A and B are shown apart, each in its own frame.
Chain A
Amino acid sequence: MTKNEFIQNIVPFKDKLYRLAKRILVSQDEAEDAVQEIFLKLWKGKENIKNYNSAEAFAVTMTKNYCLDRLKSKQASNLKIVHSNYHASENLERSVEANNGVEMVFKIMETLPEQQKIVLQLRDVEQFEFSEIAKILDSNETAIRVALSRARKSVRDALIKKYNYGIK
């Protein structure tokens, strides 16, 4: 694969990969670092991309794995203490922003388990088919549907709870 082919076929996924990275890592800076790193890896492994049915699914899988690894090493090091603080301030922030429903949806999505976050992102934001998501997450379609249903319901329930709380 030449540089031009790479730019034409792989680079257009940049925003998609960035959104997924940001959904998993939350921080914009970290997501951008991750995307940079992933494109370097993709470029280095560009000869292997041909062996995959879909270059997009390959890139998304790579992004997911990379971000989950990052998250794991982050949690393993020093983030635990920060994390407990983070929740308190986040709750405060949330009640302040209670009138902005969209903002609230984003905040609620941050609290979902990683797997549900990824499924929701890939399906409802990026419109992947269930079969593709199953392949990316190395799972089966039924499990994906269940995770997706849980994620959607969590968002709905949390949102309605916030709304009612705000009204009362």
Chain B
Amino acid sequence: MESNKIENLLNAYFEGNTSLSEEKILKDYFNNHRVAEHLLQYKPIFVGLHVAGMEKSKQQLDTFEIKTSGIKPWWYSVAALLIIAFGVGAFYLSQPQLTAEEKEALVAFEKSKQAMMLLSENLNKGAGQLDLVDEFTVSKNKFLK
């Protein structure tokens, strides 16, 4: 009786003429009931279709991570550009300031060095002249013994 009904449903099933509810009956029969011997050959089909429907994807979706980080690059690139521009700008701005100070110091150093040289030169000249004074004493001693 039962298997007769199932047979009719099976025939309609293979012709593509069953409704969703009829297909549900077939699926239920082959998955959850004792299947009549002569219908056993159809069992793998319905068990297989049932099993196929239970398969689940094990992977996690990272769509939203991609998406939210996908919006940022625009801001990121602007921020990165600003940082680089600021860095380069600061470097260029600070560079001449430092050298100007250094230059001033260098100039001052050179000037004072020159002044020292002049001073010592003149001092040496003066000291040279003193040799003549010594000569004078030597010749004076010749006479005044």
The interface of chain A, by Cβ under 8 A from chain B, is: 3, 11, 14-15, 18-19, 22-23, 31-32, 35-36, 39-40, 43-44, 101-102, 104-106, 109, 121, 123-127, 129, 145-146, 148-149, 152-153, 155-156, 159-160, 163
Q: B67's closest neighbor in chain A, by CB?
A: A43
Bound complex: CA of A121 vs CA of B62, how far in Å?
Answer: 26
Q: Is B41 in contact with A160, judged by CB distance below 8 angstroms?
A: yes
Contact A127 B44 (CB under 8 A): no
> Which residues in B have their C-beta under 8 angstroms from that of A40?
63, 66-67
Do most interface residues of chain B lie in helix, strand or loop, or is the interface mixed? Answer: helix
**Most chain A Cβ neighbours within 10 Å, of B16, B56, B62:** B16
The reply to whether B16 and A163 form a contact with Cβ atoms under 8 Å apart is: no
Q: What are 23 A-to-B residue pairs whose CB atoms are below 8 Å?
A: A3-B64, A14-B57, A15-B55, A18-B57, A19-B55, A35-B59, A39-B61, A102-B44, A102-B48, A105-B45, A105-B47, A105-B48, A105-B49, A124-B23, A125-B52, A127-B24, A149-B14, A149-B15, A149-B16, A152-B13, A152-B45, A156-B14, A160-B41
Q: 4 additional contacts, CB 8 Å, given A43-B63, A105-B45? A: A102-B47, A127-B24, A129-B20, A149-B16
Main secondary structure of the interface of A (DSSP, over half): helix
| Complex contact A19–B61 (CB within 8 A) | no
Q: Provided the pairs A159-B45, A160-B41 are in contact, do residues A36 and B53 lie with their beta carbons within 8 angstroms? A: no
Inter-subunit contact B56/A152 (CB<8 Å):
no
CB pair B63 A36 closer than 8 Å: yes
* Among A18, A125, A126, A163, contact of B41 (Cβ-Cβ < 8 Å): A163
B7, chain A: closest CB distance, angstroms: 13
In whole angstroms, what is the CA distance A40 to B45 when docked?
34
Chain B interface residue number, banded = 20 to 34
**Contact call A127/B23, Cβ cutoff below 8 A:** yes
Interface residues of B (CB under 8 A from A): 13-17, 20, 23-24, 41-45, 47-49, 51-53, 55-57, 59, 61-64, 66-67
Residues on B with beta carbons closer than 8 Å to the beta carbon of A145: 16-17
A123 to B14, CA, bound (A): 13
Known: A36-B63, A39-B61, A39-B63. A22 touches B55 (CB 8 A): yes
Q: Are A43 and B14 in contact (CB under 8 A)?
A: no
Cβ contact within 8 Å between A19 and B67? no
